[in-house]
């Protein structure tokens, strides 16, 4: 059992039941999956870039990525139907909790100019989206042999019913959100 999952069962579930008054343990929100997504964008035609992105994503998540292909041709972007335009990985269960734990305790503090996460990144259903401009914030992404630095997106899908429940779950998990203090002039 991972450290974060043990914390979820022992501390987070009782706290959320007390705060929101859930009648049943199964009604308490939880993270159902984590999706890590990389779009290759304008570098799609560069030789070796797709393999580099795939290797990096495999190192970061510990799982083989799936290629995402263009559904239709777009001539202004020079994209043809069936062309690889990105990669994605869906994490569940133990790998998901390991990834979230690493994200909170290692990756976010390593991010350049990090001052906390915005609460606006949580949508109305309690799902949370984080974008990274540089993949080198992850310790697994080795610096040697990196041709181009690329960004990636991380989406945490929860079973929360609204934004308040989702924020409550994520705060108790340890995500460092910015406080909504008013700035004095």
Query: Residue ranges per domain, the chain?
Result: 3-85+93-173
Confidence band for 19, pLDDT divided at 50, 70 and 90: confident
pLDDT at 146 exceeding the cut of 70 = no
Confidence band for 117, pLDDT divided at 50, 70 and 90: confident
Architecture of domain 3-85+93-173 in CATH?
2-Layer Sandwich (3.30)
Residue 127 vs residue 113, higher pLDDT: 127
pTM of the predicted model as reported, rounded to 2 decimal places:
0.75
Q: Which residues fall within 8 angstroms of residue 75, CB to CB, at 6 or more apart?
A: none
Confidence band for 172, pLDDT divided at 50, 70 and 90: confident
Confidence band for 77, pLDDT divided at 50, 70 and 90: low
| pLDDT for residue 143 | 58
């Amino acid at each position: 059992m991972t450290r974060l999952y043990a914390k979820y069962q022992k501390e987070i579930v009782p706290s959320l039941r007390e705060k929101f008054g859930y009648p049943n343990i199964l009604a308490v929100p939880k993270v159902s999956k984590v999706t890590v997504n990389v779009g290759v964008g304008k570098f799609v035609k560069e030789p070796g870039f797709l393999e580099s992105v795939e290797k990096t994503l495999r190192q970061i998540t510990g799982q083989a990525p799936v290629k995402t292909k263009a559904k239709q041709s777009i001539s202004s972007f020079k994209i043809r139907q069936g062309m690889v335009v990105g990669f994605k990985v869906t994490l569940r269960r133990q790998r998901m909790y390991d990834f979230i734990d690493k994200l909170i305790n290692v990756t976010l503090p390593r991010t350049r100019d990090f001052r906390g996460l915005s609460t606006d990144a949580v949508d109305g259903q309690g799902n949370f989206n984080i974008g990274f401009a540089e993949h080198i914030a992850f310790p697994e992404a080795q610096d040697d042999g990196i041709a181009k630095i690329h960004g990636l997106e991380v989406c945490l899908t929860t079973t929360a019913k609204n934004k308040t429940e989702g924020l409550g779950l994520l705060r108790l998990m340890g995500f460092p959100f910015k406080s909504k203090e008013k700035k004095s002039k």
